[in-house]
Amino acid sequence: GERIPLTLIHPPGLVRDGRAPTLLYGYGAFGRPAAHGFSFATLAWLKSGGVYAIAHTRGGSEEGENWHEAAKGAKRSVAHQDFCDCAEWLIAERYCSADMLGIRGASAGGLLVATAFLQRPDLFGAAICDAAPTDMVRFPKFTLGSAWIDEFGDPGDPAALQVILQWSPLHNVQSDRSYPPILISTGARDEVVAPLHSMKFAAALQNTPSPLVLLHVKENAGHSVANSRDQRRQLVVDQHVFLWSCLAKAGQSSG
């Protein structure tokens, strides 16, 4: 029954016919709001004719600490549902169709995207997961993972483990299912989210009939926020080329 805030940006005069390439971003964890402000990457997306949306799911702090607590620990799936609900709203309001909807998230936002992508592949045309933790059964064993136990639950606790197994991305890839195109990226020197998360997730998806599963390992790069300006620019270029290629093909098929 909650109303989920959704920031929506699009070029003037947009015709809502369900065919606009749309990018939905989310974070939804650690009591951190999904930021919206000036971004050259967002501006480039808009100038190319795209729609940009930010899902302010529970798990963030947009509506205060209660908003964070509502998707914390055993209630983590609330954030996943909020994200999917925002996607359904965009489709129902004819900003885009499922085939024309791309999703993107980094770090904990990448976890949000990976989980929604697996739970509702029918909602999305393409996905980008950057530096995302995906093995949520073993995450405390690597880098800073033990600091995330309070946020996502303790897989060492049998009761919490059963809840985590219901949504942990690595453990919910169905080998006989075809998923939309996905670009998974990580920094080879990421000391926040170990690169093995992205590599194992990509390997699991590459063992499915999915049409396109790409893994991009950025050499000499750390976590998303630690990369150089040139690395960030190249990452944006790679992600936009991937998204436009996937969504353009979908648009040609539906057109």
Residue-wise pLDDT tens for the chain (255 aa)?
899 999 999 988 999 999 999 999 999 999 999 877 788 889 999 999 999 999 999 999 999 999 999 999 999 999 999 999 999 999 999 999 999 999 999 999 999 999 999 999 999 999 999 999 999 999 999 999 999 999 999 999 999 999 999 999 999 999 999 999 999 999 999 999 999 999 999 999 999 999 999 999 988 888 865 577 887 888 889 999 999 999 977 655 555
- Residue 1 forms part of a structural domain: no
**Residue 80 annotated in active site:** no
- Residue 92 forms part of a structural domain: yes
Question: Which CATH number goes with the domain that contains 237?
Answer: 3.40.50.1820
d(CA 223, CA 216): 13
Q: What is the pLDDT of residue 234?
A: 85
- The count of domains in the chain is 1
Catalytic residue among 190, 197, 198, 224: 190
Q: 3-state class of 106 per DSSP? A: strand
Catalytic residue among 68, 80, 223, 240: 223
Buried b / exposed e over 104-143, threshold 16 CB at 10 Å, is: bbbbbbbbbbbbbbbbbbebbbbbbbbbbbbbbebbbebb
Domain that holds residue 200: 6-254
Residues paired with residue 58 on neighbouring β-strands, in sequence order: 60
Q: Which two tokens stand for residue 178?
A: 């075809």
The full DSSP string for 41-93 is HHHHHHHTT-EEEEE--BTBSTT-HHHHHTTSGGGTHHHHHHHHHHHHHHHHT
- What residue type is 212 in one-letter code? L
**Residue 190 annotated in active site:** yes
- Residue 105 forms part of a structural domain: yes
Q: How many CB atoms sit inside 10 A of residue 97's CB?
A: 19
- Residue 166 forms part of a structural domain: yes
- Residue 198 forms part of a structural domain: yes
6-9/51-55 β-pairing: antiparallel
Say if CB 89 and CB 61 are below 8 A apart: no
pTM for this model (two decimals)? 0.94
**Residue 223 annotated in active site:** yes
d(CA 104, CA 126): 9
d(CA 235, CA 231): 6
- Residue 196 forms part of a structural domain: yes
Q: What is the pLDDT of residue 226?
A: 54
